[in-house]
Structure 1
Amino acid sequence: MLMKQPCPEQQFAYQTPYGSTLQDTGVQFSVFSRSATAMRLLLYNKVNDLEPSEIIEFDPIKDRRGDIWSMHVPGLAHGQLYHYQASGPWDPEHGHRFDATARLIDPYAQALAGTYLPSTDGIVRPPKCVVIEDTFDWEGDRHLRHDMSETVIYEMHVRGFTKSRTAKVKPAGSYLGVIEKIPYLKSLGITAVELMPVNEFPIRDPHGKKLERANYWGYDPMAFFSPHRGYAHSKEPGAQVNEFKQMVKALHAAGIEVILDVVFNHTCEGNEQGPTLSFKGLENQVYYILSEGQHYSNYSGCGNTLNGNHPVVREMIFHCLRHWVYNYHIDGFRFDLASILSRDTKGNLIPNPPMVEMIAEDPMLANTKVIAEAWDAAGAYQVGSFGNHRWAEWNGRYRDDVRGFWRGDGGTLGALATRLAGSSDLYEHAGRPPHCSINFITSHDGFTMNDLVTYKEKRNLANGEDGRDGDNHNISDNYGEEGPSRKKGVRTIRDRQVRNMLTTLLLSQGVPMLVSGDECRRTQKGNNNAYCQDNDISWFDWRLVEKNTDLIRFVKSLIEFRKAQPTVRRREFLTGRPVDGRMIPDVSWYSPAGTPLDWGQHELAMVAYIAAPSRADDPEGAGRDVVMMFNSTGQNRDFTLPEVERNMKWNLFVDTAAESPKDVYPQWDGPRPPSNRVVEVPCHSMKIYVNQIEPVAKISQPTVTEGR
């Protein structure tokens, strides 16, 4: 008898119906254009060729079905370079901007090669599209599917992470460079990296010249389906596809998910004065939101706005998300200026926008994390009301309230308590759990954590905009001297404030997002809008890892505690009601005197008692009770442990006023509180105690004999 041999594992690939599709006998090219009167395919032999080696006309009868132009070209192979060219009406007053001379990037291109080429004839020559054959060996790699409530996000820039000489990485500033630093990422304990834009964006201007201001951040999309060629180590056309996948596979092997920052709100084509590179020359009035039929609505602040709720654009976005999830094994997305997805084809904000709902309900994205930056550049602010329970949000309220409390702003005590407890004011009413709140204090946009406690004012002159750019409302302080200081008193307060904010961030209910370098005091020298600084201002200085080992140890200990303790990462909101039969509320708030907190008082000091979760939420019984003491005043304060804690044994876990190694006890075995239960908490600091109660033994269940 012959035994059936197992088939080799098959990896599911997602094939879009448009773009260039490699087939056995050649390549199928398909592109959408409703109003074009003619379509051409331009083929090139080399990346730097100014002119195509061959131009092939689409037959308007044989090669057009509805609004789709589709043609099979035999004999072409992987690596073929191409553009489209479309003829049609030039009628800007009615939204048409066809230019029969323009070389157009395929909206579904899977890779681009080269850059803008110099022009002497007025014709813009953008990077060329590349035909891609997907033969990557994933070696069984799968999406990790970490539960959102257990996620710790690390926002980082692919190039900036290893571009500095201090990284000592040979493929510096590349996907492969990230791979070399994975041991560091793993050692921190983070569970996901959120990569700033990695889809294609311009490297040079449309005339082939160096950009006046470097496009470092990448929030200027050129081709949504393609990894950025500038982050590939190899310069071979299409090499970025393979190298990006290598990076994802290596991160997954280390237990780290990959979340992409995607920009479905505008493109690099700009407004009426911008170049025609792709969408404008194929179907301008479909791809963009126009006012009065001709002007570009600018809800993005970048010159134009993608028409995300038009059926054709919705389809493109869905194909793009599935492409990244299935062909690149991406675990989630953060949607830049996501409120634009809530605008209809005329730019009006609408309830239950189809784009937002469809992303949440798409069965092919069911296990994918979706995170919204729930505002846009035109005044929409939807934090707490963006989408359903599938959507998480960057919680801008969390950032502002935590900054304000630790700076000492009056009236922020209640706000801090609400943010610490998961922002139920924003999410509970809509039936959304605490992990819908992505908590952050800093992000790529604004001060770093170090600069937040070092500068009152931004220092953006290097950007070349006379200081007009960047937010003026930073909720920051310098604590006595602007910029770096040698004064011990100033440095002491700054050290405490950094630890205060990192502790608050990593032990709040919700999902914490740590910005790359905050764990080692990375500085941008006061620049709070380093979008154009492709230099040492933005790059990760790896010398800081050695210089600030104590702070890195502190952060690692907090992350490890968070991952081990369901007490600080609940799946449901705290209620103030007793947990199980212990008669201790899941959360209690006290004054420094140990009495119930008067929310009407203006003092910035309090105690938060968070009880271990019920056995329904913590079946292993691993949770510990946690007491957090906050003192944002300028005076040392005595805190009395409340009566509810009298019969428990406690150990110090965190003391943000202490010098290392006494600032954190990774084994939760620090000193016991004084016998009189009065704990001194120095000014601008916090202390955390963890109880010693052993996990409650599982209750044995009676044996049930089933009837026969």
Structure 2
Amino acid sequence: MLMRQPTGNLQFTYQPPFGATLQENGVQFSVFSRSATAMRLLLYNKVTDQEPADIIEFDRETDRWGDVWSLNLKGLEAGQLYHYQASGPWDPAKGQRFDSAARLIDPYAQALAGTFGRSTDGVVRPPKCVVVKDDFDWEGDRHLRRELSESVIYEMHVRGFTKSRTAKIKCPGTYLGVIEKIPYLQSLGVTAVELMPVNEFPILDIYGNPPQRPNYWGYDPMAFFSPHRGYAHDKRPGAQVNEFKQMVKALHAAGIEVILDVVFNHTCEGNEQGPTLSFKGLENQVYYILSEGEHYTNYSGCGNTLNGNHPVVREMIFHCLRHWVHNYHVDGFRFDLASILSRDRGGNLVPNPPMVELIAEDPLLADTKIIAEAWDAAGAYQVGSFGNHRWAEWNGRYRDDVRGFWRGDGGTLGALATRLAGSSDLYEHAGRPPFCSINFVTSHDGFTLNDLVSYKEKHNAANGEDNRDGDNHNISDNYGVEGPTRRKGVNTIRGRQVRNMLATLLLSQGVPMIVSGDEVRRTARGNNNAYCQDNDLSWFDWRLVEKNKDVLRFVQTLIQFRRQQPTVRRIHFLTGQPVDGRLIRDVSWYADDGSPLDWGQHHLSMVAYIAAPSRAEDPAGLGRDLVMLFNSTGDDRTQQMPAIGRGMKWNLFLDTAADSPNDIYPNLNGPMPPSNRAVEMPCHSLKVFVSGKVSAKRRK
């Protein structure tokens, strides 16, 4: 009789075909280069060694298989440090940039160690590659497989989240530091952290341009398969591998998924003036999109463009994604400037790009979330049209429309309603559900939420670029004073606007994304491009958790409500039709006096009625009807509760103009609306009323 072998604690690991692979008695080194005429392996004994202890020449006859150079060295173990060196043609006009003196990072290196240096002849010496042993005990950890529609995403920077002294933890600024702050993430209620780049990148500007600025954000990849060494508490070579896995396992144990921000659009090697660190010195014309052979296209805005639809590069990206999913148990990816993946080898945007489709259809990525930043730095803007139903998108239209409405921009009411209802204009025509829209008001790139309501202009002088960097189109306001002020009236409006946008975000159909620190009003002092600010301007100030505990409580309650209420996280678009035989439509819109809204008028106020979902979408019957009253004008108004809700029990859930704790009611037991159903709405405010439970009779 055949017996099934239990698999609960067995782990599936994925071994890419290239890189340094531990064998029973040594290490197999494999690297791709089509045009190299010679390949060398440089072996080091210590991280601090300037020169290799041994140089191994690949034999062209026995160690080259097609375009792959591969050899097995006996006696080597995990922790071995190495570089490659490749000889070949120097012919920039034809895209060839071999430099036999350059020390090259293995594109498939699974860890790096050390820092950058320069030899006496000026050749850049990059960090050394590390041979890694995968012997981590996951103790049965698996992907959480949470439905995207049920997600609340928290974008955060690993170092910045805990680096401040105010964090008061043992391992600040590290993967282990994140573990120490998991109780905070749990108290907030988020379901996933979206980590800004954690694969290897230069810690400092490597181009030698004064002043040498920190590369804080990390959007400058150097080794796609390697966790960033700078976020490890243990500084021994390869320690970052285990510490990253510890962080993922701990987050999973707390019910929190891990999404990585990946940058498959350029590398840190820059343009023709940039250093040769890896890809340039192995097969430049394959890894990059070139113009006239010699020059690098710059669709990324960072000097070069990765040739993502070349078969060799495409294969590397796939191996990399699988490596992070199956060897690090990450739950998904956000693809930075993903529209570059829609460009062919000539840089042209193409329909149904193979790279985008293959990521969506790859069976080993089937459990993962895939999110596109559906634009690039060269003018491509594909929000609403990127990929198929598997792809979600950062909805830049949502950001702009919500900001514009709450700032009081004319003609934005219809746009706000569309975003609130799930952006059907962008996604429904392609058969994509509302949760393909990743809604956000702020991200790492741009003002913090506090600064969005405190500054009209960017203040980026600290970046050393004469305030030229950063976006000028912020759709922000300061409400009378630029920056911090003691004027009570200004601060009152700013507080309302913070709550208005947080409430709108967390009550919209789609998937909300919050930026770390917005829930406690973190400020970057008006800097909207703090990419090089590795200091308290960027770090999470943990004193704000107590100082702004009222805003934190507001956000915690909203997230709790969202997770409990299928009314605000539907998997189908609102239609304006009655629900389950009720006389009430799933969504309806009203003017202040309760009459149907005339979309042709340039209103800045409205009332929305959103009904509980059907039994098919909400089988447990948890959904409640909502009435949302919006007033983004500078005047106080009176708005009428819709007549269709008469006879139902209503309680105030939130009031952004009220002082804490009366700004939100966690138990849904706020005051009932006035008997005449006329609700006083202060300027720049939002109120939400929640019905009692909708009876089964009403939702047959």
Per the shorter chain, which TM-score range? over 0.9
**Equivalence for 1:542:** 542
Contact 1:197–1:217 at 8 Å: present in 2 too?
Answer: yes
Superposition pairs for residues 106-121 of structure 1, below 5 Å? 106-121=106-121
SS in 2 for 1:638: strand
Give the whole-Å Cα distance in 1 for the aligned partners of 2:210 and 2:670: 56
Q: What letter matches 1:377 in structure 2?
A: A
SS in 2 for 1:246: helix
SS in 1 for 2:166: helix
Give the whole-Å Cα distance in 2 for the aligned partners of 1:488 and 1:271: 51
Give the whole-Å Cα distance in 1 for the aligned partners of 2:10 and 2:481: 61
Question: 1:143-179: per-residue Cα shift (whole Å, max 9, x none)?
Answer: 0011000000000000000000000112110000000
**Equivalence for 1:367:** 367
Question: 1:341-390: per-residue Cα shift (whole Å, max 9, x none)?
Answer: 00000000000000000000001101100000000000000000000000
How far did 1:121 drift? 2.0
Give the whole-Å Cα distance in 2 for the aligned partners of 1:74 and 1:204: 36
How far did 1:204 drift? 3.5
SS in 2 for 1:110: coil
Superposition pairs for residues 280-359 of structure 1, below 5 Å? 280-359=280-359
Superposition pairs for residues 37-52 of structure 1, below 5 Å? 37-52=37-52
Q: What letter matches 2:396 in structure 1?
A: G
Matched, 1:663 2:663: yes
Q: What letter matches 2:372 in structure 1?
A: A
SS in 1 for 2:117: coil
Contact 2:579–2:699 at 8 Å: present in 1 too?
Answer: no
**Equivalence for 1:706:** none
Using a 3 Å threshold, how does the CA distance of structure 1 residues 4 and 490 change in structure 2: closer, same or farther?
Answer: closer
Using a 3 Å threshold, how does the CA distance of structure 1 residues 355 and 94 change in structure 2: closer, same or farther?
Answer: same
Give the whole-Å Cα distance in 2 for the aligned partners of 1:137 and 1:480: 56
Using a 3 Å threshold, how does the CA distance of structure 1 residues 210 and 234 change in structure 2: closer, same or farther?
Answer: farther
Using a 3 Å threshold, how does the CA distance of structure 1 residues 405 and 16 change in structure 2: closer, same or farther?
Answer: same
Give the whole-Å Cα distance in 2 for the aligned partners of 1:388 and 1:476: 33
Contact 1:178–1:247 at 8 Å: present in 2 too?
Answer: yes
Give the whole-Å Cα distance in 2 for the aligned partners of 1:262 and 1:644: 48
Give the whole-Å Cα distance in 2 for the aligned partners of 1:204 and 1:509: 40
**Equivalence for 1:19:** 19
How far did 1:694 drift? 4.6
Superposition pairs for residues 551-700 of structure 1, below 5 Å? 551-696=551-696
**Equivalence for 1:250:** 250
Give the whole-Å Cα distance in 2 for the aligned partners of 1:7 and 1:207: 50
Contact 2:105–2:129 at 8 Å: present in 1 too?
Answer: yes
**Equivalence for 1:516:** 516
SS in 2 for 1:635: coil
How far did 1:118 drift? 3.5
**Equivalence for 1:392:** 392
Contact 1:609–1:627 at 8 Å: present in 2 too?
Answer: yes
Using a 3 Å threshold, how does the CA distance of structure 1 residues 463 and 7 change in structure 2: closer, same or farther?
Answer: closer
Question: 1:469-508: per-residue Cα shift (whole Å, max 9, x none)?
Answer: 0011100000111111111110100000000000000000
Q: What letter matches 2:254 in structure 1?
A: A
Contact 2:623–2:693 at 8 Å: present in 1 too?
Answer: no
**Equivalence for 1:74:** 74
How far did 1:643 drift? 1.3
Could you tell me which runs of 5 or more consecutive residues in structure 1 were left unpaired when the two chains were aligned.
701-708
**Equivalence for 1:703:** none
SS in 2 for 1:314: helix
Contact 1:452–1:477 at 8 Å: present in 2 too?
Answer: yes
**Equivalence for 1:265:** 265
Q: What letter matches 1:583 in structure 2?
A: L
Q: What letter matches 1:558 in structure 2?
A: L
Could you tell me which runs of 5 or more consecutive residues in structure 2 were left unpaired when the two chains were aligned.
none
How far did 1:238 drift? 0.3
**Equivalence for 2:181:** 181
Give the whole-Å Cα distance in 1 for the aligned partners of 2:342 and 2:435: 22
Equivalent pairs: percent with the same residue?
79
SS in 2 for 1:243: helix
Q: What letter matches 2:71 in structure 1?
A: M
Q: What letter matches 1:397 in structure 2?
A: R
**Equivalence for 2:215:** 215
Q: With the length of structure 1 as denominator, give the TM-score of the two structures.
A: 0.97
Q: With the length of structure 2 as denominator, give the TM-score of the two structures.
A: 0.98
**Equivalence for 1:127:** 127
Using a 3 Å threshold, how does the CA distance of structure 1 residues 206 and 669 change in structure 2: closer, same or farther?
Answer: closer
Question: 1:40-73: per-residue Cα shift (whole Å, max 9, x none)?
Answer: 1100000011110000011111111110111000
**Equivalence for 2:527:** 527
How far did 1:119 drift? 2.4
How far did 1:583 drift? 1.8
Contact 1:456–1:476 at 8 Å: present in 2 too?
Answer: yes
Contact 2:614–2:699 at 8 Å: present in 1 too?
Answer: no
How far did 1:693 drift? 3.0
- What number of residue pairs does the alignment pair up? 700
Q: What letter matches 2:529 in structure 1?
A: N
SS in 1 for 2:666: coil
Using a 3 Å threshold, how does the CA distance of structure 1 residues 531 and 344 change in structure 2: closer, same or farther?
Answer: same
Give the whole-Å Cα distance in 2 for the aligned partners of 1:644 and 1:498: 31
SS in 2 for 1:652: strand
Give the whole-Å Cα distance in 2 for the aligned partners of 1:594 and 1:251: 47
**Equivalence for 2:238:** 238
How far did 1:6 drift? 5.9
SS in 1 for 2:72: strand
**Equivalence for 1:144:** 144
**Equivalence for 2:170:** 170
SS in 2 for 1:293: coil
Give the whole-Å Cα distance in 2 for the aligned partners of 1:208 and 1:121: 15
**Equivalence for 1:505:** 505
Contact 1:48–1:117 at 8 Å: present in 2 too?
Answer: no
Contact 1:22–1:28 at 8 Å: present in 2 too?
Answer: yes
How far did 1:463 drift? 0.5
Using a 3 Å threshold, how does the CA distance of structure 1 residues 389 and 5 change in structure 2: closer, same or farther?
Answer: closer
How far did 1:9 drift? 2.7
SS in 1 for 2:370: strand
Contact 2:287–2:306 at 8 Å: present in 1 too?
Answer: yes
Q: What letter matches 2:467 in structure 1?
A: G
